Structure 1
Amino acid sequence: MRRMDVLSVGLEGMKGHMVRVEAKVRSDKEQFVIVGLPDASIKESKERVLSCLHALDADLDMKKVTVHLSPADKRKTGTGYDAAMLVAVLREVLDEPIPFDDRTCILASLSLDGRLEPFHGLIPAIQQAVQLGFKRILLPPVDVRQLGDSLPAELVTLSDTRQLLDYLRGQLVMETADVQVMEDRSDTARTDEPSTDFSSVRGHHDVKRALEVAAAGGHHVLMTGPPGCGKSMLADAFPGILPDLPNDEMLEVYSVYHLAKESRGFSVRPPYRSPHHSASAISLVGGGTYPKPGEISLAHRGVLFLDELGEFSRKTLDMLRQPMESGEVTISRVRQSVTYPASFLLLAATNPCPCGYYGSSERYCTCTPQQIRAYQLKASGPLLDRLDFVLTLKSVGLKEDTPAETSVAIRERVTRAHGKQQARYGGDGLNGTVPGSRLLATSGLTDSQLERIGTLCFEEKWSNRTQVKLIRLARTIADLAGIDTVSEEAIQEAVRWKRQAAIAQQPPITQQPGKE
């Protein structure tokens, strides 16, 4: 009977796969070879593994050691396979057996004196190991308390190779005393709290309602209006109405930031990213010689705010279209392709024209119709078609003193709506992101309602995507109201938002030469 190989986890971006570590030792000229498409850091692992083998008094005189990392057709990177390779070799050279089962994996680098060390990518490797179904994960001495107590796997921290071997042999292992703190450790689980509360925003009651619906269902929003009308202030307050992240999503977001080497604590609050309009396509989407996550991945499970949308290049904006649909981004390079999660809520703000005052009642616009049209066409039609809300803002006077709800009160309603959607879809998404087939199967719409929506879209010349968007919006509005079916009022409100978006997207009329 073939005995079980030593198991570890490899990463391709944020996608994990099981790596089987095999070793063969035979009498030959002394040599240590690692095969299975290792990168330079893994090829250097042989020196660390050999040093630890000698420290454990393993006899390698006149022995050729071959270590195979399977599957052989996947490129391996990083130093996280060191400890697994050491155990695989020791199982060949030691007389005493070292048992290993298929529910256990090892994720640790090695020092020359046999200490188990953390490595870059440890957090996402743990997260993916849990996804792959491992029930026991052997780790270097890092503080795993911040990963939460709800993980369906036992995290075992071991200090050195001798403790590792004792644990695998079933001997008692004392708890490690010297615990290293993981990167970017935060003393609090609540960070990134917004500095602006919704109650401090004067007026804009329709806009606040639209943002509440967007937060409840994961719908994308574009706000347009003259300078100083409150777009940035509303965007700053928007994260405050989003619910806290559950433990599995917290770990997923923390893993992305760990891979990108970005500073963020282990926080229950959704991430909020606001890249400058001069950001390149690579910094926004991700990539580089050694691919790393971009802004859309750093906004995973949170908000990506693009201020001054008209100043971004059209090519950069069009690169958002596919991630907005699929919730992930794949970066292809000659050597490898990596995939990062990118399920974000796009919140954008723009002026209506270069001078900012087209359609304003306060100042005259100095732009020509051609300039206005060129400015507005920075966001292409297919991108705008993916936006559920296009909101036109007007300036509000300081005399507007109507009492407004706080972000906490709105967040409570949004949290309840999220709970209804998680129960409906089994935690697989929100109304704005769940696949259309599943949305239609669980929407609660009657046949007459679906027929009426289809007829309306045909009369208005709206696309099929718009028809599904109307159903998504209506379903979210019904969830906010706490009802299981979709009411006529919810459908009417969804249609009203779509008509406002269609009006806002109409280009300015260009005068023909020689005509008044």
Structure 2
Amino acid sequence: MYSKVKTCVLQGLNGFIIEVETDISRGLPTFNIVGLPDTAIKESKERVRTAIKNSGYEFPLNRITINLAPANLKKEGSQMDLSIAIGVLSAMGVVNNCDLNGISFLGELSLDGKINKIEGALPMVISLREMNIKNIVLPYDNRDECGVIDDVNIIPIKDLNELIMYLNGEFKIEYYKKDIRDLFDVNDNFADDFSDIKGQEGLKRALEVSAAGSHNILIIGPPGSGKTMAARRLPSILPNLTFEESIEITKIYSVAGLLNDEFLVSRRPFRAPHHTASATALIGGGRVPKPGEVSLAHHGVLFLDELPEFQKNVLEVLRQPMEDGFVTISRVNATLSYPAEFMLVASMNPCPCGYFGDPYHECTCSESSIEKYLSKISNPLLDRIDIHTEVMPVDYSDLEKNIKAESSKNIKKRVDEARKIQIERYRNEGIYSNGQLSSKNIKKYCKLNSGAEKIMKEAFKKFKFSARSYNKILKVARTIADLDGEKNIMEKHVLEAIQYRSLDKKYWG
């Protein structure tokens, strides 16, 4: 007695079809699974056996062999339980009134036959659709995240008995489709709003430029100057997520098991790992590879507070994803890749005590301790941060004013307009913001007028900018020009952009 059913496994965010072949033959009662299964799949033998028994069926006392094809692909995850159980039941003749060829089965079994929620359901469904598998049986609790996908028939199932009756035509289940029309409605009522910040107009302007062009930003200033407060309000001025961006983020969160009650991520992520985080926590990996903080911040913000407090080797691993927009994790059996297009927002004190340059407090640090503290931030990492801005403590006069500061809603309008200009400009380039410009595209799109070109030339000689810093200045100047609605980059745009690189010489010169 032989059967074949389909399921799916993930490597990174890419799914691969697995054919579960089941053979039940005469011989001593054994239950073997072959085809590079991991521990979770080997353990599924007991879950499948007990679930079938507790669903009211006799488990065959025969020789049962399960082959997971292709045999050269490492299989991981408990989502294969359901396909193995259906393979056994089909070979037994219990499921006999259905063509299983066009159906894929995903789900983990509990011992009483219930089908439990799985991680990574969304990327599996998308991969199956791309491989022309349109009918997908999956756990009832995964129905919402997968029901947003078009051109697939989602069949949500609660338990094994329900599935058997459905496959035999004894029970009808409607294909599930999730209505998401209201999910991306604009909501301008943010809990954290820029209007909460008194003074600090320079910092707010730098964050506006950063948001408008998707530029990385470093904020330097003493304790209590509002660095963290301002950074946490950055998502309130970022453009709303598109459906495509939401799906990309949700795939990552689905694999990481972080969706919880949220079936689709509808807000830009804001991730703020503690400075004790390891390189693996930041980049991803582990025995069972999972996305790290840089991937969880995809299309959102990665906030690193107290940047020099992170281990230096942890900071250095950021360089590759900041440049490439993805993370590669190598294993013996496979190489996994996760997207990581994030905005880095970093904050730090200017010295160990925090008060170097503070007009109200005296710095107690020695010159050597300040140098040691700042040396934790390498030049290659600094070069990858487009905007460097300094902030000082808020003046009493600013705190005393009753004038309401500009709201996130108003700033966001300017950011949205600048982003629209960029999306239209780069519609044939495969990018959507100035922060993504390559060296080749910078020459094409960052045109300076004669006065701006002269200023840029003088600044390059005076500050001895690197080639990467030069390109960063042009990209930031392009964003400032977009905020002003200017087609070409003018003198004032270049001057402001150069100002955002002047701290290199002050602190790391």
**Structure-2-length-normalised TM-score:** 0.81
- 260 and 340 in structure 1: CA distance in 2 versus 1, 3 angstrom threshold: same
Which of residues 368, 380, 384 is equivalent to 1:382?
Answer: 380
- Structure-2 residue corresponding to 1:244: 240
Percent identity over the alignment is 37
Check the 8 A contact 1:191/1:269 in 2, yes or no. Answer: no
With over 3 angstroms needed to count, the CA separation of the structure-2 counterparts of 1:277 and 1:109, relative to structure 1, is closer
230, 233, 241: which is aligned to 1:234? 230
Structure 2 residue identity aligned to 1:139: L
Matched, 1:99 2:87: no
Decide whether the 8 Å contact of 2:283 with 2:294 is kept in 1.
yes
**In 1, Cα distance between equivalents of 2:230 and 2:411:** 14
Partner of 2:488: 487
Is the CA contact 1:211–1:238 (under 8 Å) kept in the aligned structure 2?
yes
Cα distance, 1:318 vs structure 2: 0.9
State the distance in 1 between where 2:460 and 2:87 align: 65
Match of 1:11 in 2: 10
Pair 1:213-2:209 in alignment? yes
- Residue 76 of structure 1: CA displacement? 1.4
Q: What residue in structure 1 maps to residue 438 of structure 2?
A: 436
After TM superposition, give the deviation of residue 143 of structure 1 in Å: 5.9
2-structure distance, mates of 1:420, 1:505: 30
Match of 1:409 in 2: 410
Indicate the residue corresponding to 1:342 in structure 2. Answer: 340
Change (3 A) 1:384 1:487: same
- Measure how far apart 1:77 and its partner are: 1.6
Which residue number corresponds to residue 472 of structure 1?
475
What's the offset of the Cα at 1:413? 3.0
How many residue pairs are counted as aligned between the two chains?
493
- Partner of 1:35 in structure 2? 34
Q: Which moved more, 1:431-440 or 1:358-367?
A: 431-440
Equivalent in 202, 218, 235 of residue 222 of structure 1 = 218
Asked whether the 8 Å contact 1:15–1:340 carries over to 2, the reply is no
Q: Distance in 2 between matches of 1:452 and 1:69?
A: 66
Note if contact 2:268-2:301 (Cα within 8 Å) is conserved in structure 1.
yes
Q: C-alpha separation between the residues in 1 aligned to 2:146 and 2:96?
A: 35
Return the offset for 1:137. 2.3
Mapped partners of 2:245, 2:3: distance in 1 = 32
The runs of 4+ residues in structure 1 deviating greater than 6 Å are 187-193, 446-458
1:160 positional shift: 3.3
Partner of 1:196: 192
Which deviates the most, 160-169 or 319-328? 160-169
Distance 2:341 2:219 in 1: 20
Structure 1 distance, partners of 2:192, 2:57, is: 63
How far does residue 42 in structure 1 lie from its aligned partner after superposition?
Answer: 0.7
The 2-side partners of 1:310 and 1:438 are apart by 33
Q: One-letter code of the match for 1:250?
A: S
Structure 2, unaligned stretches of length 5 or more?
177-182
Could you tell me which amino acid in structure 2 is paired with residue 469 of structure 1? K
Shift of the alpha carbon at 1:388?
A: 0.6
The alpha carbon displacement at 1:458 in A equals 6.5
Match of 2:179 in 1: none
Q: Distance in 2 between matches of 1:96 and 1:235?
A: 60
Aligned equivalent of 2:318:
320
**CA shift for structure 1 position 26:** 4.0
Shifted more, 210-219 versus 145-154: the winner is 145-154
The answer on 1:87 being equivalent to 2:86 is: yes
Per-residue CA deviation, residues 264-310 of structure 1 (Å, 9 max, x unaligned), is 65242222222222333333333334433333233222211111112
Aligned-partner Cα distance in 1 for 2:73–2:163: 27
Q: CA RMSD in A?
A: 4.1
* Secondary structure, counterpart of 2:136 in structure 1: strand
In the other structure, the counterpart of 2:71 is 72
Judged with a 3 Å threshold, the aligned counterparts in structure 2 of structure 1 residues 125 and 379 are, in CA distance, closer, same or farther, namely same
Distance 2:188 2:173 in 1: 38
- Residue 155 of structure 1: SS of its match in structure 2? strand
Instruction: Assess, with a 3 A threshold, how the Cα gap between structure 1 residues 159 and 365 changes in structure 2: closer, same or farther.
Output: closer
Amino acid of the structure 2 residue aligned with 1:157: P
Question: Which residue type is aligned with residue 310 of structure 1?
Answer: P
TM-score by length of structure 1 reads: 0.80
Is the alpha carbon distance of 1:330 and 1:272 closer, same or farther for their aligned partners in structure 2, counting shifts above 3 Å?
same
Contiguous gaps of at least 5 residues in structure 1? 178-186, 511-516
Q: Deviations over 1:1-55 (max 9, x none)?
A: xx99533221234343332323344444433221121112211222333455665
Aligned residue number for residue 303 of structure 1 = 301
| CA drift at 1:222 | 0.2
Contact kept? 1:218, 1:430, Cα under 8 Å: no
